[in-house]
Homo-oligomer: A and B are copies of this chain.
Amino acid sequence: MNAHRIIGKDIPRADGRAKATGQAIYADDIKLPGMLYGKLLRSPLPHARILAIDTRKAAALPGVHCVITGQDIPRVTYGNWRLFPGTQDEYALAVDKVRFIGDEVAAVAAVDRETAEAALEAITVEYEELPGSFDVAASLADGAPVIHEASPTNISIDRKIAYGDIEAGFAASDYVREDTFTVHAVSHAYMEPCACVAQSDLDGRITLWTSTQTPYIVQCLLASTLKMRENDIRVIKPTVGGGFGGKMELRPWEFCAAFMARRTGRPVKFTLTREEELAYGRRRHPMTVRSRVGFKSDGTLVAKDLHIYLDGGAYNAMGPTATFLSGNFGAMLYRYPNYRYLGEHVYTNKPPASAMRGFGAPQTLFAAETQMNMAAEELGIDPIAIRLKNAMVSGDELPGVATISSCGFIESLKEVRRISGWSRKRKGLKTGRGVGIGCYSFISGGVFNWFNTQYPFSAAEVRAFDDGTVHLLTMASDIGQGSDTVLKQILAETLGLTMADIRLTAADTAMTPQADLGTWGSRVTLMAGNAVLDAAQKIKERLAGAVSARFDLNVIFDIEFADGRVFAAGKPDRGMTFGEAVAFVQKTQRGEPLVARGSYTPRGKGLVSPAFSFGAQVAEVAVDTDTGQIQVEKMWTAHDCGTVLNPMSVEGQLEGSVHMGLGYALSEQFVMEGGKTLNANFLDYKIPNAADMPPGESVCIETFEPEGPMGAKEAGEGLVSPTAPAIAEAVFHATGYRCRDLPITPEKVLKGIGKL
């Protein structure tokens, strides 16, 4: 299998040096002549009717070039679920009503930030305050305030999954348990706050540089909200400092920058502050997860009935996807012969929740994995043993939803048991120390076309030159996860070239090939990778033809691509350099350059994903039973991401996932009162720091994913899910305290062990 020269090797990130030396250009680094600075006026109330806005004083301030409100802009709502326009519930600037503290009410553009801020102060808004609802229960209560007229129940979307016979399943169960778990909101906390610069040319076309995961989505939604044509808008992704799902929608500042650039004829920049990001930004959905599960007495799963309320905040955002995916993740990892899911997305007067790394999985799997641990405990079965009994294997199906192709879950469970010394530690640990397990499965990109793109899901163009270089053009968006590097690896490997032979241009909607749905759901490696492979194969066919013609080879000869050469397999002298072969092809087509386009769209892959990753993680904790403080001592991970394309990159993803999982499990949360966020800064919003990171050990269980490029699948997102349930179980093992509501704070631990 492994004659790979570049795939499977520790290739440093293509963007690493530029970032380390400060040469990388982020959106906020862009400065254009005559550029204005934009600022947003936000609602101070969680729910209110806008009676009047007076912008005259602001507009009259020297240095203020533009002030706009919801009255100035086209009345076009937007939202990512373009396939169902009814879900598109957001205006770039509030019209009639505000629905959360921070809802965007007006925008200004001025010669500098200070003037823009002064202009915000000079705007007066008259509100009629309305009663607010700040959690799911309040929104669902009788007489609850209606947040959107179109959703009188405050439930904006529900999604269902069902297969088998749920009633029969429970009837056949020996042991049934029902639990409710609640999980909280956390911030993406990407290092780079959102920023963009819009420029309008003299024909009225817009160029928008924006910190986004989804240039194509921004392009399309900006077009519809501006009532422009899609291709009169060009979206360019500069270097992006993280996204984690928080930068995959059109956002008000992007709209306002473009709108005001057209109106003023000047470029307009917006850069959000960390406070804005934390207080008003997108976040992971809080959920209330009610799960009823039936087992045979030997631990065999028989049925699962799952009901989840998602606290969506004020708008749908990516909530519809989270609502569906939570139901899928609830059905993963184990074989549930009978399964039923109902997800309901509920509006509240809080900042909208949306996509965030894991996309429904961290919440659902915290519940599912914790419940599995609870069942194991009650049934007297080892937590890993009960998982092995029920673990999904290759070929398993969620009827009508998904088929599992490659699956290294059982191997992951066994391997993490081995490397963590699980069996010994589960027995031998004394009070105050414990080990626990959590597992995950995740998607490698989505199948369901909620954005209703008319293009392939991913596309690539490869241009091969007679100097031995190639140019790879793709609209895939590297936001720090390393996809540029891995796409170059795939191409270099396939064509027998080096990384240095490849120039990459990515994520420019006017220049790179249509289209790509963006970076989310761990889709890039698989989908853009397949598109690159497709294009590369077409190039290879032509070059193989060149060598066959030049050396008059029998058609059955295999042609190899290695070390910058193209040659007959086993006869290296019958070949030429890559560049010579390109030149030969160019001659055969009278000078036309050798260019190929490739694409990928998943077909016949159910509703969810073409491929699923799997893994298991063991946490060891020490709990100070006097303070309730939890110290994570070590994390062991075994996971199946198919072929490991770049071990260093996978390791980085794992470390980042553990870091995020740690914060999710133990320390991160929004402190809110009446819809107001009280801890909108990094002092009070507690992200683990480097010193908090436990040592780790990990093993990649290599499988070969037939749908993935070179056998690869997701490696960057699923791993964020097992950490919280593993730690929760370890805390239970150490203390007897069972957490059902994240985060696991010292206070809860002390209460749980009766010390508070």
Given known A511-B505, A595-B597, contact A231–B471 (CB-CB < 8 A) = yes
Is B511 a contact partner of A511 (Cβ separation < 8 A)?
A: yes
Report if A2 contacts B (CB, 8 A).
Answer: no
Q: Tell me whether A514 and B202 are in contact (CB under 8 A).
A: no
B505 touches A465 (CB 8 A): no
Q: Establish whether residues A229 and B467, one from each chain, have CB atoms under 8 Å apart when the complex forms.
A: yes
Looking at the assembled complex, report how far the CB atom of A79 sits from the nearest CB atom of chain B, in whole angstroms.
20
How many protomers of this protein does the assembly include? 2
- A723 lies within 8 A of chain B by Cβ: no
Cα(A17)–Cα(B204), bound, Å: 12
B465 near A230 with CB under 8 A, answer: yes
- Any chain B CB within 8 A of the CB of A553? no
Bound together, the chains give a CA A465 to CA B601 distance in angstroms of 19
Known contacts: A202-B21, A465-B230, A467-B231. The answer to whether A505 contacts B514 by CB under 8 A is no
Q: Write out, one digit per residue, whether chain A residues 604-634 have a CB within 8 A of any chain B CB (1) or not (0).
A: 0000000000000000000000000000000
A599 proximal to B (CB < 8 A) = yes
A455 lies within 8 A of B593 (CB): yes
A274: interface (CB < 8 Å): no
Can you name the residue of chain B whose Cβ is closest to the Cβ of A511? B511
CA distance A454 to B503 in the complex (A): 21
Known A511-B511, A595-B597; contact A456-B503, beta-carbon cutoff 8 A: no
A698 within 8 A of B: no
**Which residue numbers of A lie inside 8 Å of B, CB to CB?**
17-18, 21, 23, 201-203, 205, 223, 229-232, 453-456, 459, 463, 465-469, 471, 500, 503, 505, 510-511, 513-515, 583, 586-587, 590-593, 595, 597, 599, 601
- Residue of B202, B230, B593 near A23 (CB, 8 A) is B202
Asked whether, in the complex, the Cβ of A17 is within 8 Å of the Cβ of B202, the reply is yes
A599 to B454, CA, bound (A): 28
Majority SS at the chain A contact face: loop
Partner of A510, one of B203, B505, B513: B505
Q: Is the CB of A456 within 8 A of B592?
A: yes
A446 to B434, CA, bound (A): 82
Instruction: Note all chain B residues with C-beta closer than 8 A to A515.
Output: 593
Q: Cβ of A503: which chain B residues have Cβ within 8 Å of it? A: 205, 231-232, 510
- A456 partner residues in chain B, CB cutoff 8 A: 590-592
- Are B586 and A465 within 8 A (Cβ)? no
A500 and B201 alpha carbons, distance in the complex (Å): 12
- In the complex, which residues of chain B have a beta carbon less than 8 angstroms from the beta carbon of A201? 18
Which of B18, B453, B511 is the one whose CB lies under 8 Å from A591? Answer: B453
